[in-house]
Structure 1
Amino acid sequence: MTVDGKPRVQYQMPKTCREVHDGTFTSLVAQGLKGYGEPTSMKDAVLLGTSSITQNFKPIKNVCAHLNAFHAYADDLGRSIETNHFCSQINSDVRQCLLYDSPDANARLIGIEYMITPQLYETLPPDERRLWHSHVYEVKSGMLVMPNRVIPQTPWDMAENKEMGEIVKLYGKTYHLWQTDRGDKLPLGEPQLVTNYTNDGQPDFKKVEDRDERFGTDYRAKRDARQGIPTPDIHKDADSYWKG
């Protein structure tokens, strides 16, 4: 099919998680890791490539969303770190995300995040609730994005806004294990609790603009497009680290 004499790109909106892992391990031969250690050898790459064919990676293949945003360290709110979330849905109340320092094949796993519904959050004891953060500002500011360079922008924006309408209601608990922002070559020390931003003046939007340039996103346009997303009430125990 053509449009204005040009071939029309055929596409389908994703309905299920795509199995994108076959063949990715062999690309590590020349890349190696960005931390300590030698580059991946041909022997190791062949072993990994064979494993990707003969073994089952169902938990990883259930990953169906890539989110990008910035976190602040709970004990040092002036430190921020860009984070790529690769998330799967466990059930209707719980999501889990693997956190990486980039979307590349040799990205470093730097943390984990769990997201739960308000109904489940209400069941937690007060001390536990204070470890969790909201996603309202992250969504409404346009900071949280789902990078996309495949599907045309208009239908993707519609799908993304629908997803944001769900995420805005969720509470998250996040630990970073590898402090790559300070140059650590390995995961050192204890896991670090991190939190989301909650108001203007907290995040450095110059970093967000740099992210937008790399991913082809625009937080300002997304902020405007999300004005119609209902803003839920935030539980008084959430976002405690911003409350002193």
Structure 2
Amino acid sequence: MITPKLFATLDSDERKLWHSHVFEVKSGMLVMPQPSPLVPQVAWEKAETAEMEDVIELYGKVYHLWQVDKGHKIPLGTPQLMTSITADSQMLNFDQVVGERDQRFGTDWKRKKEIRKDIKEPEIHPDADDAWKHIA
């Protein structure tokens, strides 16, 4: 992840490969699973929310090397540039999918969304999130 200042130094074609984190943070979708039940939930939520106040401004670029869902024992094929969704409508059954994730990790995206409602949303550079600008 990089800062908006560094992102602005990239050429336009490069910036189009990067994604924002505003939706992930504000929706409650992006989580930092609680490391231990010994850490009080209130303390963890405070720490996580503070981190999200920083992450919301950053841009990310990620390549996936291994599609583990295909069952291969080693990474095969070409790395794939990934992006993040910028609206819940971009994921089929968003509530259900994120809810199932919450069950696995003991998180609650709806609660996180409420907790993060006051995090200020930065302006997203127009070149970011380009993957979603070409979907009919």
State the TM-score, normalizing by the size of structure 2: 0.91
Q: 2:120 aligns with which of 221, 227, 230?
A: 230
Listed one character per residue, the Cα deviations across residues 159-213 of structure 1 (whole Å, up to 9, x for unaligned) are: 1100000000000000000011333332111110000110121123322111111
Which structure dedicates a bigger proportion of its chain to strand? 1
- After TM superposition, which residue ranges in structure 1, 4 or more long, deviate above 4 angstroms? none
1:3-82 mapped onto 2 (5 Å cutoff): none
Please give the alpha-carbon distance, in whole angstroms, between the structure 2 residues aligned to 1:238 and 1:145.
Answer: 21
1:139 and 2:25 matched: yes
Please give the alpha-carbon distance, in whole angstroms, between the structure 2 residues aligned to 1:219 and 1:172.
Answer: 21
TM-aligned CA deviation for residue 150 of structure 1: 3.0
Mean alpha-carbon deviation: is it higher for 177-186 or for 193-202? 177-186
Q: Secondary structure at the match of 1:243?
A: helix
Counterpart AA for 1:141: S
Q: Secondary structure at the match of 1:227?
A: coil
Please give the alpha-carbon distance, in whole angstroms, between the structure 1 residues aligned to 2:43 and 2:126.
Answer: 36
Q: 1:202 aligns with which of 79, 82, 90?
A: 90
Listed one character per residue, the Cα deviations across residues 120-174 of structure 1 (whole Å, up to 9, x for unaligned) are: 0000000100000000000000001111133101111111100000000000000
1:211 and 2:73 matched: no
Counterpart AA for 1:228: D
Please give the alpha-carbon distance, in whole angstroms, between the structure 2 residues aligned to 1:180 and 1:141.
Answer: 26
1:44-123 mapped onto 2 (5 Å cutoff): 115-123=1-9
Please give the alpha-carbon distance, in whole angstroms, between the structure 2 residues aligned to 1:218 and 1:182.
Answer: 28
Please give the alpha-carbon distance, in whole angstroms, between the structure 2 residues aligned to 1:180 and 1:145.
Answer: 21
Could you tell me which runs of 5 or more consecutive residues in structure 1 were left unpaired when the two chains were aligned: 1-114
Q: Secondary structure at the match of 2:88?
A: coil
Please give the alpha-carbon distance, in whole angstroms, between the structure 2 residues aligned to 1:186 and 1:240.
Answer: 30
Query: Which structure: larger Rg?
Result: 1
Q: Secondary structure at the match of 2:90?
A: coil
Which structure dedicates a bigger proportion of its chain to helix? 2
State the TM-score, normalizing by the size of structure 1: 0.52
Which structure is higher in RCO with an 8 Å CA cutoff and minimum separation 6?
2
Could you tell me which runs of 5 or more consecutive residues in structure 2 were left unpaired when the two chains were aligned: none
